[in-house]
A and B are shown apart, each in its own frame.
Chain A
Amino acid sequence: MTTAAPTSHATHGTPAPGAARAVLKAELRLFRREPGSLFWVMVFPTLLLVILGSIPSFREAQDDLGGIRLVDAYVPVTVLLATIMSGLQAMPPVVTGYRERGILRRMSATPVRPSAVLGAQMGLHGAAALGSALLSLAVGRMAFDVPLPRQGVGYAVALVLVTASALALGALVSALSRTSKAATAVGSAVFFPMMFSAGVWLPVRAMPDALAQAVEALPFGAAAEALNQAAAGDWPGPDHLGVLVLWTAALTAAAGRWFRWE
């Protein structure tokens, strides 16, 4: 087994001022050079909403959804889709590739810790997910008259929490995958159940009770309900937010436990 040097002695001096900013700037540039990722993270969720919203039956009130339209139900779904695409599909191959190619290792030989790259990647993918989520809300409002969340703060809290758990899940996928190909494969294997639990195929509130309860124990299922509650004007239930916090903490701990810098 190779033993990486511990990285916990960052207190023995700080890197040049602006080093972290330079890393973030470089990673932002590189992020913008990935048209595939940009499409799936920034465009695809809203595009899906537009396509579904263009189907006339999606714009009719549904009794089994409590009188709302399918397009209303799909706004939170596409919001969640943005976080899944960013955290679980786009980020893991990048981070794993950085380790696989020795980029993180090369950085350990400089005054900057490789964790700065990881931080920049998580920050950028988190920001992209939130940006894409806002785009979906805006297009829903403008194109299909989907009301904006009535409990805005509660919605934002749930959105930030689910983004954090998506990034933590992606970090765990990176930690467990030796190669970027493996990260893509593992990411996809987790991707579909997460999409299902977010309600991409069937909105959570249209699911049978037993299934809905099971799905609400998962981060994206809990997030779907939390977003729905906030959209309707209520503060998201502490049970749903609690599920999100627990998942984020557990996934972060696991990713930290198994992540290797080389």
Chain B
Amino acid sequence: MPPPIIEVRDLRKVYDGRAVVDGVSFAVEQGEIFGVLGPNGAGKTTTVECVEGLRVPDAGAVRVAALDPVADHIRLTRVLGAQLQESELQPKLTVREALELYAAFYATPADWRPLAERLGLADKLTTRFAKLSGGQKQRLFIALALIGNPRVVVLDELTTGLDPRARRDTWRLIEDVRDSGVTVLLVTHFMEEAQRLCDRIAVIDRGRVAALDTPAGLIGRTASSTVISFTPSVPLDPADLAALPRLASATEKDGRVTLNGTDDTVDALLTLLARRHITAHQLRVTDTTLDDAFLDLTDTRPGHHGAPA
């Protein structure tokens, strides 16, 4: 197995005496889509900016393709393409000029025409940056991240500002990029995006890695992997509900009961309902989503297991 293409060890970054990144470690294998997931202000962007060599870590080590992102910054920029949060281009630069300009920065750039085509920018080539919509700007930045034919591409909040169709198109593009052998480091707060795209996810919370696993693994490690909701024909005895095995939480609202638990909970509930001759109207049994797992992993209240409100 080849060595990891990105290695982050005990990374620490302090601003104003506050550790924004406080001992983050992870390794990204070649050719995977690796997600960095976390609430706002968790230190996701600072972490990837250290990977991009745009920030100097206060402690710890970062290696990308065996390069130190700070000391070997120029060499790093040839193997790593980045789409940054909150950066713009010159307002009067056209799409075509931006693509040509950034292509000129690399010795062996990608052909910008098919790239523009693939990102739906082909009919916007003569449009100035300032006149582009948010989604078009975002797609242009993805194109600029890919134009140097990088081995690693870092995408920070890449689908923010995109409509659902553009978002899905972008996801397909990212999968194509991965299939062409490029490693993708993806910062996101969209669970659906992380679940759909990522091979593995590091959940970062308050500057630390709260969990690192595959999307399925993250969901599986939550205390309650199943959500059961129904409207009983007659009110249930709270004591009966509380006695259900592996129950993580139970809530009732407007006569509708929502339980978080496991398959054992479902089996026991159905037995209970049959014994009491209660009909469960609109019974829904669903898997916990990454959303629930995420809330569970990043919740600040100790001992709490993310019950839906």
Query: Do A and B form a real pair?
Result: yes
Q: How far apart are the CA atoms of A108 and B90 in the complex, in Å?
A: 15
Contacts A3-B55, A101-B88, A102-B87 given; indicate if A29 touches B74 (C-beta within 8 A).
no
Nearest-neighbour CB distance to chain A for B14, whole angstroms, equals 10
Closest to B128 in A: A33
Q: Does A210 contact B (CB under 8 A)?
A: no
Contact mask B9-44 → A, CB, 8 Å, 1/0?
000000110000000000000000000000000000
Query: B256 contacts the other chain (Cβ, under 8 Å)?
Result: no
| Contact assessment for B106 and A16 in the assembled complex, using a CB-CB cutoff below 8 Å | yes
Say which one of A17-25, A160-168, A222-230 lies at the interface with B: A17-25
Overall SS of chain B's interface: loop
| Residues of chain B with a CB closer than 8 A to A12's CB | 71-75
Chain B positions within 8 Å of A21 at CB level: 104
Residue total for B at the interface (Cβ-Cβ under 8 A): 38
Question: Among B92-100, B215-223, B270-278, B288-296, which stretch is in contact with chain A?
Answer: B92-100
CA distance A226 to B100 in the complex (A): 44
Minimum CB–CB distance from A54 to chain B (whole Å) comes to 35
Closest chain B residue, CB of each to CB of A31:
B92
Of residues 52 through 102 on chain B, the ones whose CB sits less than 8 Å from some CB of chain A are 52-56, 70-75, 77-78, 80-82, 84, 86-93, 97, 100-102
Which one, A15, A19, A108, contacts B54 given CB within 8 A?
A: A108
Asked if A29 and B54 make an inter-chain contact with CB atoms under 8 angstroms apart, the answer reads no
A102 with B84, Cβ < 8 A, contacts A6-B56, A16-B104, A30-B93 known? yes
B105 is an interface residue with CB less than 8 A from chain A: yes
Distance (whole angstroms) from the CB of A262 to the closest CB of chain B: 8
Are A111's CB and B92's CB within 8 A?
A: no
Partner of A30, one of B52, B87, B90: B90
Assess the B92–A110 pair: CB atoms within 8 A: no
Most buried by A among B15, B86, B90, B91: B90
Does A9 interact with chain B (Cβ within 8 Å)?
A: yes
Q: Complex formed: what's the CA distance from A111 to B80 in Å?
A: 10
Q: Complex Cα distance A211/B147, Å?
A: 58
Report A91 CB to chain B, min CB distance, Å. 14
Q: Complex: how many Å from CA A28 to CA B246? A: 69
Closest CB-CB distance, B97 to chain A, in whole Å? 6
- Quick check: is A253 within 8 A (CB to CB) of the other chain? no
If A22-B100, A106-B89 touch, whether A3 touches B106 (CB-CB below 8 Å) is no
**CB-based nearest A residue for B67:** A12
Q: Is the CB of B87 within 8 A of A98?
A: no
* Cβ B53 vs Cβ A22 within 8 A: no
CA distance A108 to B77 in the complex (A): 9
By beta carbon, the residue of chain B nearest A23 is B101
Q: Which residues of B contact A43 (CB under 8 A)?
A: none
Pair B54/A105 contact, Cβ less than 8 Å: yes
- Contact A109 B15, beta carbon cutoff 8 Å: no
CB-contact partner of A1 in B16, B74, B93, under 8 A:
B16
Interface residue? A112 (CB, 8 A): yes
Taking a contact as CB atoms under 8 Å apart, the answer to whether A26 and B93 are in contact is yes
* B148 in the interface (beta carbon within 8 A): yes
Identity of the chain B residue whose Cβ is nearest the Cβ of A26 in the assembled complex: B101
In the complex, whether A5 has a CB less than 8 A from a CB of chain B is: yes
Which of B54, B84, B93, B109 has the most CB atoms of chain A within a 10 A radius of its CB?
A: B54
Nearest-neighbor residue (CB-CB) of B107 within chain A: A16
Q: Does A36 contact B (CB under 8 A)?
A: no
The distance in angstroms between the C-alpha atoms of A34 and B53, with both chains bound, is 34
Residues from chain A with Cβ under 8 Å of B52 in the complex: 109
The answer for the CA separation of A94 and B75 in the assembled complex, in Å, is 29
A5/B104 in contact, CB under 8 A: no
Closest to B90 in A: A30
Q: Could you tell me the distance between the alpha carbons of A4 and B55 in the complex, rounded to whole angstroms?
A: 6
19 other A-B residue contacts (CB within 8 Å) besides A26-B101, A102-B87: A1-B16, A5-B73, A6-B56, A9-B70, A9-B71, A9-B73, A12-B74, A12-B75, A16-B106, A16-B107, A30-B92, A33-B92, A103-B89, A105-B54, A106-B84, A109-B84, A110-B102, A111-B106, A112-B105
16 cross-chain CB contacts under 8 A: A1-B16, A4-B54, A5-B55, A5-B56, A9-B72, A10-B74, A19-B104, A22-B100, A22-B104, A26-B97, A105-B54, A105-B87, A106-B87, A108-B54, A110-B77, A111-B77
Q: Which B residues form the contact surface with A (CB < 8 A)? A: 15-16, 52-56, 70-75, 77-78, 80-82, 84, 86-93, 97, 100-102, 104-107, 109, 144, 148
